[in-house]
Amino acid sequence: KSSDEKGVIANMSSIHGHICTMNKPAYNITKFGLRALSQSISAEGKGKIRSFTVSTGFVKTPLADRQIDAQAEQRGISKEDVIKNVMMGTSRVKEMMTPIEVANLIIFGFSQHAKYLVGGDLLFDGGCVLTY
Protein backbone atom coordinates (compact mmCIF):
# COMPACT_ATOMS: atom_id res chain seq x y z
CA LYS A 1 0.00 0.00 0.00
CA SER A 2 1.47 3.29 -1.09
CA SER A 3 1.50 6.26 1.28
CA ASP A 4 0.03 8.57 -1.39
CA GLU A 5 -3.30 6.74 -1.61
CA LYS A 6 -6.37 8.80 -0.89
CA GLY A 7 -9.98 7.97 -0.11
CA VAL A 8 -13.39 9.57 -0.30
CA ILE A 9 -16.50 8.84 1.78
CA ALA A 10 -19.96 9.98 0.69
CA ASN A 11 -22.90 10.19 3.08
CA MET A 12 -26.54 10.74 2.19
CA SER A 13 -27.91 13.59 4.27
CA SER A 14 -31.10 15.54 3.59
CA ILE A 15 -32.64 18.97 3.72
CA HIS A 16 -33.36 17.85 7.29
CA GLY A 17 -29.64 18.19 7.92
CA HIS A 18 -30.15 21.94 7.32
CA ILE A 19 -33.64 22.61 8.68
CA CYS A 20 -35.83 20.89 11.25
CA THR A 21 -39.43 20.03 10.55
CA MET A 22 -42.09 18.81 12.91
CA ASN A 23 -42.59 15.13 13.77
CA LYS A 24 -39.05 14.18 12.73
CA PRO A 25 -36.74 14.78 15.71
CA ALA A 26 -34.74 11.57 15.34
CA TYR A 27 -34.43 12.02 11.57
CA ASN A 28 -33.40 15.69 11.95
CA ILE A 29 -30.77 14.84 14.57
CA THR A 30 -29.39 12.00 12.46
CA LYS A 31 -29.02 14.11 9.33
CA PHE A 32 -27.39 17.04 11.17
CA GLY A 33 -25.07 14.52 12.86
CA LEU A 34 -24.17 12.91 9.55
CA ARG A 35 -23.02 16.26 8.21
CA ALA A 36 -20.89 16.74 11.34
CA LEU A 37 -19.45 13.24 10.97
CA SER A 38 -18.43 13.97 7.38
CA GLN A 39 -16.78 17.22 8.46
CA SER A 40 -14.98 15.42 11.29
CA ILE A 41 -13.73 12.67 8.97
CA SER A 42 -12.34 15.31 6.63
CA ALA A 43 -10.76 17.24 9.51
CA GLU A 44 -9.07 14.07 10.79
CA GLY A 45 -8.19 12.78 7.31
CA LYS A 46 -5.06 14.93 6.99
CA GLY A 47 -5.65 15.38 3.28
CA LYS A 48 -5.69 11.62 2.68
CA ILE A 49 -9.37 11.04 3.35
CA ARG A 50 -12.11 13.46 2.51
CA SER A 51 -15.78 13.07 3.20
CA PHE A 52 -18.87 14.88 2.00
CA THR A 53 -22.63 14.76 2.25
CA VAL A 54 -25.38 15.09 -0.31
CA SER A 55 -28.55 16.80 0.89
CA THR A 56 -31.72 16.54 -1.14
CA GLY A 57 -35.41 16.96 -0.62
CA PHE A 58 -37.73 14.09 -1.45
CA VAL A 59 -36.38 11.49 -3.86
CA LYS A 60 -38.80 9.42 -5.96
CA THR A 61 -38.36 6.01 -4.34
CA PRO A 62 -40.83 3.29 -3.33
CA LEU A 63 -40.65 4.58 0.26
CA ALA A 64 -41.59 8.11 -0.85
CA ASP A 65 -44.37 6.73 -3.05
CA ARG A 66 -45.89 4.94 -0.05
CA GLN A 67 -45.75 8.19 1.92
CA ILE A 68 -47.71 9.93 -0.85
CA ASP A 69 -50.55 7.42 -0.63
CA ALA A 70 -50.65 7.59 3.17
CA GLN A 71 -50.56 11.40 3.25
CA ALA A 72 -53.28 11.71 0.60
CA GLU A 73 -55.58 9.42 2.57
CA GLN A 74 -54.80 11.04 5.92
CA ARG A 75 -55.29 14.60 4.62
CA GLY A 76 -58.15 13.87 2.22
CA ILE A 77 -56.33 15.44 -0.74
CA SER A 78 -55.07 14.16 -4.09
CA LYS A 79 -51.68 12.52 -4.54
CA GLU A 80 -50.68 15.42 -6.79
CA ASP A 81 -51.50 17.89 -4.00
CA VAL A 82 -49.42 15.85 -1.55
CA ILE A 83 -46.40 16.03 -3.84
CA LYS A 84 -46.81 19.70 -4.78
CA ASN A 85 -47.99 21.24 -1.53
CA VAL A 86 -46.93 18.91 1.28
CA MET A 87 -43.73 17.17 0.19
CA MET A 88 -42.34 19.85 -2.11
CA GLY A 89 -43.85 22.60 0.04
CA THR A 90 -41.67 25.68 -0.25
CA SER A 91 -39.35 24.15 -2.84
CA ARG A 92 -39.14 26.12 -6.08
CA VAL A 93 -39.06 22.82 -7.99
CA LYS A 94 -42.34 20.97 -7.56
CA GLU A 95 -41.21 17.47 -8.45
CA MET A 96 -39.14 14.89 -6.61
CA MET A 97 -35.56 14.13 -7.61
CA THR A 98 -34.88 10.81 -9.25
CA PRO A 99 -32.43 8.30 -7.77
CA ILE A 100 -30.25 8.75 -10.88
CA GLU A 101 -29.97 12.50 -10.22
CA VAL A 102 -28.82 11.74 -6.67
CA ALA A 103 -26.34 9.12 -7.92
CA ASN A 104 -24.87 11.68 -10.33
CA LEU A 105 -24.16 14.02 -7.42
CA ILE A 106 -22.40 11.26 -5.51
CA ILE A 107 -20.37 10.28 -8.58
CA PHE A 108 -19.36 13.92 -9.00
CA GLY A 109 -18.30 14.02 -5.33
CA PHE A 110 -16.05 11.01 -5.86
CA SER A 111 -14.51 12.45 -9.03
CA GLN A 112 -11.29 14.37 -9.56
CA HIS A 113 -13.44 17.45 -10.22
CA ALA A 114 -14.52 17.57 -6.58
CA LYS A 115 -11.13 17.62 -4.87
CA TYR A 116 -12.16 20.76 -2.97
CA LEU A 117 -15.27 19.06 -1.58
CA VAL A 118 -13.67 18.39 1.80
CA GLY A 119 -16.25 18.08 4.58
CA GLY A 120 -18.73 19.95 2.44
CA ASP A 121 -22.33 19.34 1.55
CA LEU A 122 -23.96 19.26 -1.86
CA LEU A 123 -27.36 20.84 -1.19
CA PHE A 124 -29.70 20.07 -4.09
CA ASP A 125 -33.10 20.87 -2.67
CA GLY A 126 -34.90 22.85 -5.35
CA GLY A 127 -34.69 25.96 -3.18
CA CYS A 128 -36.56 24.47 -0.22
CA VAL A 129 -34.04 25.50 2.43
CA LEU A 130 -33.76 28.95 0.87
CA THR A 131 -37.49 29.54 1.22
CA TYR A 132 -38.21 27.53 4.40
**Residue type (1 letter), 94:** K
Residue 129 in this model has a pLDDT that exceeds 80: yes
Task: Determine the pLDDT at residue 99.
Answer: 97
Burial class (CB in 10 A: 0-12, 13-18, 19+), 55: buried
- Delimit the domains of the chain by residue range: 7-57+97-131
The per-residue pLDDT for range 44-59, each reduced to its tens digit, is: 999 999 999 999 999 9
CATH architecture assigned to 7-57+97-131: 3-Layer(aba) Sandwich (3.40)
Please choose, from the candidates 128, 118, 121, the residue with its C-alpha nearest in 3D space to the C-alpha of residue 50: 118
Please tell me whether residue 50 adopts helix, strand or coil conformation. strand
- Model confidence, pTM: 0.86
